[in-house]
Amino acid sequence: MKRTVLALAAAAALAVSGCAANANSSSNGSGAEDAGDTLVAAYSEGGKTLDPAEANDVTSDTFVVAAYDQLVTYARTEDGGKPKAKTDQIVPMLAESWKASADNTSYTFKLRADAKFQDGAPVTADAVVKSFDHIKASSSASFLYKMAGIAKVTKVDEQNVKIDLTAPNHLFLQILPMYSFSIIDMDKVAQNGGAKWLATNTAGSGPYKITKWDPSTEAAMARNDSYWGDKPKLRQVNVKFIAEASNRVQLLKKAEVGLALEVPPKDVQSLKAADGVTIDSRAGNKILFFAMNNKIKPFDDPRVRQAVSYAIPYEKLLNDVMKGQASPMKSSVASSTPGFSDAGYTYTHDLDKARALLAQAGLPQGFSFDFTLGSGFDDWNDDAVLIQAELAKIGVTMNIKKMARPQFLEALETKKVQAYITRWTSFVNDPGYHLGLLLTSQGSSNYANFSDPVVDKAWEQASTEPDVAKRNKLYGVAQQEINTKAPWAYLYEYNIVVAHRAGLDGYTSYPDGIVRFFQLSVTK
């Protein structure tokens, strides 16, 4: 696996020396040893934690993936000459092999003998067991632990670990490659006061050491020269956190950063024409939806939710806002997901149907509601204004309440927000993972409070169904029910857009949207 770096001007690079365990430590030195092995990247936000079991934003996840390894990972393939993850093929990582029991309720993993944590301690079965205990006790990844159907994790010997499941579960091996299931040196964590220490420090075996992390400004990663796997070519990665998208774009044009995420659709064409800039734009499984809280009137009535769905100006959102960098969304599951079904989806921009549904719901004059708009994404603002204007045409007043992103995310977790726009990327490209988190009654991210016995039953049956065709049929039943009941109005499916300086090779598109810096290479 090639792991290299983008060449940048030395003046653009921040040098960080040393390998301090504390990610908040300051960098040393100025200038880079060799501008050809240092990458400066621009992200929109700085992340919230370095704890693999609590991370749930792309920036935090990126640092976790750099600093930690998992038992297994996804294979890679090519699509149109571009590398992409092959999520239906699981390959070794810290585990060099594994064997399933005849009834698929138990898996035994054999660990690599040469894998070591960044401080030199060996990766052992004890470390795996303790890592899974941490995951099980976490507030975020514990739901995934349950979704994977894990009953218990036990040490067989120093190099072998046995994981027992509650029942056969097709999602188990799909979930294990996730950053949430990183293997942690929990002995080191205990020596430093416990799990809270992991929020700002790392204890992994991965290819990079997090040497600095200030969520308000920047972070730095240094190559782990003792890495047990292929040595990354990229010696240093510095990540600047720049909230304003136009600033990220300008820095990329000037070659002051070598890679930029969250590029606004309106800037894609100009960047394509810019000297020395490459745009990688691919269809992905990141979705954007308009959620209506099913426990707050009038959105407790599916006819009202359906009316809103018919009032959405879909073509304007795709063409005027996204400038062709998105595609129609016609189910709660992204169209690129195996098992996708648009059965029950009938929504077009039809204000007459919207008015008729409101009349049926006893609201012929319309109604007023509060819409919470999280900051940070230009398309959300533009979408909200367009939707507000269309709803006004059917007598519905949408009161836009703007909120800073950290407070917005906290508000969603209360499950009391009346209506909002949000996006979602399913890191496991499977309807069971997606629906289980977002749209089952007990889903940890079901912030719109949708609850439907048909969906719950189909999801539960699918979770233990070994036959793919039968499982997808059950997922189809769930999607049809959701599409009909309309807990969300579907806005669009994003393209995954990564902008970088010319010469960067090896960028691989994953469902989670995370850039694996250790895979990058450059031609000078």
Per-residue tokens: 28: 């040393």
Q: How far apart are CA 217 and CA 1, in angstroms?
A: 31
Report whether pLDDT(9) > 60: no
Please tell me what DSSP assigns to residue 374.
Answer: E
Neighbours of 139 (CB within 10 A): 10
pLDDT (tens digit, 9 = 90+) per residue, 443-473?
989 999 999 999 999 999 998 898 999 999 9
Q: How far apart are CA 298 and CA 215, in angstroms?
A: 39
pLDDT (tens digit, 9 = 90+) per residue, 57-101?
899 999 999 999 999 999 999 988 889 998 889 999 999 999 999
Q: Using an 8 Å Cβ cutoff, are 50 and 64 in contact?
A: yes
What mean pLDDT comes out for the span 245-268? 93
Report whether pLDDT(258) > 80: yes
Q: What percent of the chain has pLDDT over 70?
A: 93
Per-residue tokens: 390: 């269309």
pLDDT (tens digit, 9 = 90+) per residue, 405-436?
889 999 999 999 999 999 998 888 899 999 99
Q: For the domain bounded by 285-495, which CATH number is listed?
A: 3.10.105.10
Per-residue tokens: 353: 């149907």
Q: Using an 8 Å Cβ cutoff, are 376 and 245 in contact?
A: no
Report whether pLDDT(397) > 60: yes
User: What pLDDT score does 30 carry?
Assistant: 25
Q: How far apart are CA 312 and CA 323, in angstroms?
A: 17
* Number of alpha carbons in the 13 Å side-chain half-sphere of residue 38: 24
Q: How far apart are CA 242 and CA 230, in angstroms?
A: 31
Query: Which residue, 383, 339, 347, is CA-closest to 494?
Result: 383
CB proximity list for 289: less than 8 A, separation 6 or greater: 329, 332, 421, 422, 423, 424, 488, 489, 490, 491
pLDDT (tens digit, 9 = 90+) per residue, 315-366?
999 999 999 999 999 999 999 899 999 999 999 999 999 999 999 999 999 9
Report whether pLDDT(398) > 70: yes
pLDDT (tens digit, 9 = 90+) per residue, 278-287?
999 988 889 9
pLDDT (tens digit, 9 = 90+) per residue, 261-275?
989 898 998 899 999
What mean pLDDT comes out for the span 104-123? 97
Q: Can you list the pairs that 359-363 forms with residues at least 24 positions away whose Cβ atoms lie under 8 Å?
A: 360/303, 361/298, 361/301, 361/303, 361/304, 361/307, 363/298, 363/304
- The third-level CATH classification (topology) of the domain covering 10-257+502-522 is D-Maltodextrin-Binding Protein; domain 2 (3.40.190)
**In this structure, are strands 38-43 and 236-241 parallel, antiparallel, or unpaired?**
parallel
When the pLDDT of each residue in the chain is averaged and rounded to a whole number, the result is 91
Q: Using an 8 Å Cβ cutoff, are 87 and 76 in contact?
A: no
User: SS3 breakdown of the chain: % helix, strand, coil, rounded to 5?
Assistant: 30, 25, 45
Query: What's the pTM value of the predicted model, to 2 decimals?
Result: 0.82
Q: Where in the chain is the domain with CATH 3.40.190.10?
A: 10-257+502-522
What mean pLDDT comes out for the span 170-196? 95
Q: Where in the chain is the domain with CATH 3.10.105.10?
A: 285-495
* 112 — pLDDT class (breaks 50, 70, 90): very high
Report whether pLDDT(35) > 60: no
**CA separation (Å) from 437 to 88, 135, 344, 426?**
20, 16, 21, 9
Lowest mean pLDDT among 116-130, 200-214, 481-495, 507-521: 507-521
* 513 — pLDDT class (breaks 50, 70, 90): confident
Name the CA radius of gyration of the chain, rounded: 23
User: What pLDDT score does 24 carry?
Assistant: 42
